Amino acid sequence: MTAVKQVDSSAHYVPPVDHLVRGGFAWRRVLVTSGVLCALVVTVVFTVMIGPAQLSAGEVWASILHHLGLGGFAGGVEISALRDAMVWELRLPRVLTAGAVGAGLALCGVIMQSLTRNPLADPYLLGLSSGASLGAVIVLLFAVGVALPIAAFSGALLALVGSLTLARSMGAVTPVRTILAGLAISQVCSAGVSFIIFWSASGDSYRQVLAWLMGSLGGASWSTVAIAGGALVVIGVPLMVSGNILDAFTFGEASAHSLGIRVEAWRWGLLIAVAVLTGSLVSVSGAIGFVGIIIPHAVRLLVGTGHRLLLPLSAACGAVFLMWCDTLARTIFDPREIPVGVITAAVGAPLFAFVLYRTKAGEA
Amino acid sequence: MTFSQLSAKKVSWSIGDTRIVDNISHAFRAGAVTGLLGPNGSGKSSLVRLLSGLNSPASGLVELDGRSIGSLGSRQRARTMAVMDQHHGTSQPTSVRQAVALGRIPHRSLLGGEHVVDRQIVGSVLSALDLTDFADRDLDTLSGGERQRVHIARALVQQPRVLLVDEPTNHLDIKAQFDILAILRQVATQAGSDNFSGTEAPTVVVALHDLNLAARYCDQLILLCEGRVVAAGKVQEVLTPANIRKVYGVDAAVMSHPVTGEFMVALAPLTHSAQTDQAHPVSQQRAATRGSEAAHSASVPAR
């Protein structure tokens, strides 16, 4: 090609043939989206049903509708007070907490990966999980008179402030500096956690601390639903509309600037929003790994890299994924429960390898 | 001659105590390709970043349509001016069409999606740049020249009236270098085509290393050295042996291309005596032996 082909300005646009192919891709998106939404509803009902005492779907619906004041729609299914309490007081709060945490982590993962342009970035990148762990361990082992979630949240925020201050002190806050600063803070906090555990943990308290460090939803209740769900609604939902902004960051910050994005304002705003959301989630569940890394990659494989769809779909898939992982965590070794972080790692690592393999194959 | 929307007025910029761009003034011409030349560290890229509003000048003013670029809203600026910078890798698998469509972002609202008109503009720019066949391929599978065309396409779907390009030919093979600059030239001279921009002739500014590419494809040149304008104007006025020797420290001869007859530059390292001279301030004696041209070089004002 030696020169640009003249495009006759009077000729009207004729869609190239490959538009039809793209049309197929659009259908695939619709299909995936509706599939994921169905999975979300089905997952809530099924994971509530599963447990040491099996419940029927009818009972689950009856209990939920009854508590929402819609008992008239329950279709006459009766449910005993005990089984109703099982649904409403135990399983539903736990499933909903898992859903909110999973959705939030996946959402934060997408944003961190896109802001740092690093496929291995996760929501804990700024040392948030280590900071939260430090706060939690101090409370668990020293019986400090502070509620565990508050201590964990404060730890996460202190780590955030530490990382960003460190990143700033190195000059302009570039993705690489952000990652390095987060790593440094994370290591410092981990050292603190290890030291405290080594110094003072024993027996049961050790197991309790370990469960928290690996991430567990064993402490779920309606108040954890309120914290995680509230953070998801207040921070997560507004974040879902940042799709165009994140798209603009595809080729880095200079090109985002060229596309009319106020780079500084958005980067700081998004980083802080992600950190506060992650901190809230970690405060109720501990640092559950892998959700924030693999879900974004898996969803990209399904619907491509455009963030307008990627953000909400990742949130929905993260919710489904963690609800099932937590169901496994509390049932496979029944009556013993294992930390959900063990399950997400066990399921997540092979899935991650598969996603990498598929991504590679797609590029070749 | 039309002077364009873009001008620099006594623009300076420093990193720490080091002046990177020193008091540069220039009104860029519309409907023309202006080449920025100069050795590494002469301030080409920094000037592009200042013109694009990515960095703010320490003193002086960059004006777009008569308004300071800092006072324009980000989106308003992005609808007028597109920038193609040197670094644009991505960690995510991105199709050609997707990469090009990013250029429509300044034209839609925060929540807005792709409209039919966006797809039409993307489609027509893809076909104008011979990219239609690649549209659904991953960017990673393209050659360097093809990828560079994609980035130009992204800038063009912004429908800018000013296009800033920083060293677009780096690492490209020779034919791809010609292709890229031919496209930029075409953009500048395609005033009024709804394919590229509005009714006004676009202004294209491109930072380059290769003097012969610059000579062949640019209408105007600005030769930079240590952040200052050494010479600015038409190709043959700027690319004189004296200017080239002064700025790049190499010997140069200008001539007609033996086949095409076009203006061209032949370059060679300074001879040994010249190298020793370069270590010291240019000696008057040497200037004298080089004749009138070298004498002229010594007297070229520093702007």
For B68, the token pair is: 């300071």
Q: Does B105 touch chain A (CB under 8 A)?
A: yes
Widest distance between CA atoms in chain A: 81
Query: Which of A1, A9, A247 shows the shortest C-beta gap to B102?
Result: A247
Over the stretch B185-229, which tens digit does the pLDDT of each residue have? 999 887 545 544 455 788 999 999 999 999 999 999 999 999 999
Q: Percentage of residues in chain B with pLDDT exceeding 90?
A: 67
**Domains of chain A by start residue, with CATH:** 97-363 (1.10.3470.10)
User: How far is residue B178's CA from residue B263's CA, in Å, rounded to a whole number?
Assistant: 16
Q: Which residues of A touch B183 (CB under 8 A)?
A: 3-4
Tell me whether residues B78 and A259 touch, CB distance under 8 A: yes
CA angle B26, B29, B30 (to 5 degrees): 145
Beta bridge partners of B256: B263
- β-bridge pairing B162-166 and B203-207: parallel
Find out whether A316 and B104 touch, Cβ atoms under 8 Å. no
Answer whether residue B3 shows pLDDT above 60.
Answer: no
User: DSSP character for B232?
Assistant: E
Nearest CA in chain B to A2: B179
Q: For the beta carbon of residue A19, count every other beta carbon within 10 angstroms.
A: 15
Q: What pLDDT does residue A364 have?
A: 39
Give me the architecture of the B3-235 domain, per CATH: 3-Layer(aba) Sandwich (3.40)
Q: Is the dihedral of CA A177, A180, A186, A192 positive or negative?
A: negative
Residue B6: closest CA among B69, B71, B79, B75? B69
Tokens of A125: 């990148």
Chain A residues with CB under 8 Å of B75 CB are 260
Q: What Cα–Cα distance (Å) separates residue B20 from each residue in A17, A317, B44, B46, B55?
A: 50, 50, 9, 7, 12
Are B133 and B141 spatial neighbours (Cβ–Cβ below 8 Å)?
A: no
Question: Which tens digits make up the pLDDT trace of A117-132?
Answer: 888 888 998 899 999 9
Could you tell me which chain B residue has the CA closest to the CA of A262? B74
Confidence of residue B16 (pLDDT cuts 50, 70, 90): confident
Task: Out of A114, A251, A260, name the one closest to residue B88 (CB).
Answer: A251
* Phi, then psi, of B67 in degrees rounded to 5: -120, 145
Please give the Cα distance from B22 to B50 (Å, whole number): 12
Question: Rounded to 5 degrees, what angle do the CA atoms B97, B144, B6 make?
Answer: 75
Average pLDDT estimate for B298-303: 40
- Per-residue burial over A85-116, b if 16 or more Cβ lie within 10 Å, else e, is ebbbeebbbbbbbbbbbbbbbbbbbbbbbbbb
Q: List the one residue out of B47, B39, B45, B44 whose CA is nearest residue B13.
A: B47
Nearest Cβ partner of B128 from A5, A244, A258?
A: A5
Cα distances (angstroms) measured from residue A334 to each of A50, A205, A251, A277, A342: 12, 21, 49, 32, 15
- With contact defined as beta carbons under 8 Å apart, do B203 and B163 qualify? yes
DSSP A25-71: HHHHHHHHHHHHHHHHHHHHHHHHH-SSS---HHHHHHHHHHHTT-G
Closest by CA to B206, choosing from B302, B82, B64, is: B82
The pTM (predicted TM-score) of the whole model is 0.85
Q: In this structure, are residues B252 and B244 in contact, taking their beta carbons and an 8 Å threshold?
A: yes
CA–CA separation, B269 vs B271, rounded Å? 6
Q: Quick one: three-class SS letters along A154-197? A: HHHHHHHHHHHHHHHHCCCCCHHHHHHHHHHHHHHHHHHHHHHH
Instruction: Write out pLDDT tens, residues B51-88.
Output: 999 999 999 999 998 889 988 889 999 999 999 988 77
Taking Cα atoms as reference points, which of A167, A169, A81, A49 lies closest to residue A116? Answer: A167
Q: CB atoms < 10 A from the CB of A267, how many?
A: 20
By 3-state DSSP, what share of chain B in percent is helix, strand and coil, each rounded to 5?
A: 40, 25, 35
For chains A and B, what is the number of CB pairs under 8 angstroms? 139
Q: What are the distances in angstroms from CA A167 to CA A180, A201, B21, B264?
A: 8, 33, 27, 49
A266-275, A343-352, B137-146, B294-303: least confident range: B294-303
What residue spans define the domains of chain B?
A: 3-235, 239-303
Contacts of A13 in chain B (CB under 8 A): 120, 123-124
Q: Is B123 helix (H, G, I), strand (E, B) or coil?
A: helix
Sign of the torsion angle spanned by Cα atoms A282, A284, A288, A294:
negative
Contacts of B183-187 with CB under 8 Å at 24 or more apart are B183/A3, B183/A4, B183/B129, B183/B149, B183/B152, B184/B33, B184/B152, B184/B217, B185/B33, B185/B217, B186/A3, B186/A4, B187/A4, B187/B156, B187/B163
Q: For residue B276, is pLDDT > 70?
A: no
Q: How many residues does chain A have?
A: 364
- Do A241 and B120 make contact, defined as CB atoms within 8 angstroms? no
Amino acid letter, A50: I
* CA A85 remoteness from chain centre: 28
Residue A360 to chain B, least CA–CA distance (Å): 10
ipTM for the complex? 0.82
The minimal CB distance from B94 to the residues A3, A6, A250 is found for: A250
Percent of chain B's residues with pLDDT above 70? 85
Helix (H, G, I), strand (E, B) or coil at B239: coil
Selected residue of B102, B150, B151, B184 to mutate for chain A interface (largest A Cβ count, 10 A):
B102
| Average pLDDT value over all residues in chain B | 85
- Higher per-residue confidence, B114 vs B120: B120
Judged by DSSP in three states, A90 sits in helix
Splitting chain A (364 residues) into consecutive groups of 10 residues, what average pLDDT does each group show?
A: 40 37 64 93 93 87 86 74 90 96 97 88 90 90 82 92 88 80 93 89 80 87 94 94 91 91 91 92 91 93 89 96 95 88 91 77 47
